[in-house]
Amino acid sequence: MGFDPTERDSAAPAPAEGHQWRVRYRDGDFTHYTEWTSEFAAVANLFEQYRRGEYGHDIVIERRVVGKT
């Protein structure tokens, strides 16, 4: 599942608690992942850096729900 923070409505509420986020991107034939974190702002910042840089392609933010059964 990918999420582009540039598509998010600026008036929308912050992401819900209980979620963790990471950036996934491809570099050639390899897929790389950042660590999971609950700090969405940090992940959104990395997403923007990777998207604008030469870090790779197919850059997305992934989300997972934690602490719920």
Residue 8 within any structural domain of the chain: no
Residue 42 within any structural domain of the chain: yes
DSSP label at residue 11: T
Q: Which two tokens stand for residue 68?
A: 């719920």
Sign of the four-CA dihedral 38, 35, 2, 56 = positive
Q: 36 near 21, Cβ under 8 Å?
A: yes
Residue 46 within any structural domain of the chain: yes
Residues forming beta bridges with residue 63, ordered by sequence position: 21
The number of folded domains in the chain is: 1
pTM score > 0.85 for this model?
Answer: no
What pLDDT, on the 0 to 100 scale, is given for residue 10? 44
Per residue in 9-55, pLDDT (tens digit) is 444 445 557 899 999 999 889 999 999 999 999 999 999 998 998 86
Residue 29 within any structural domain of the chain: yes
Q: 42 near 34, Cβ under 8 Å?
A: no
Who has greater pLDDT, 21 or 5? 21
Identify the domain containing residue 53 by its residue range: 15-65
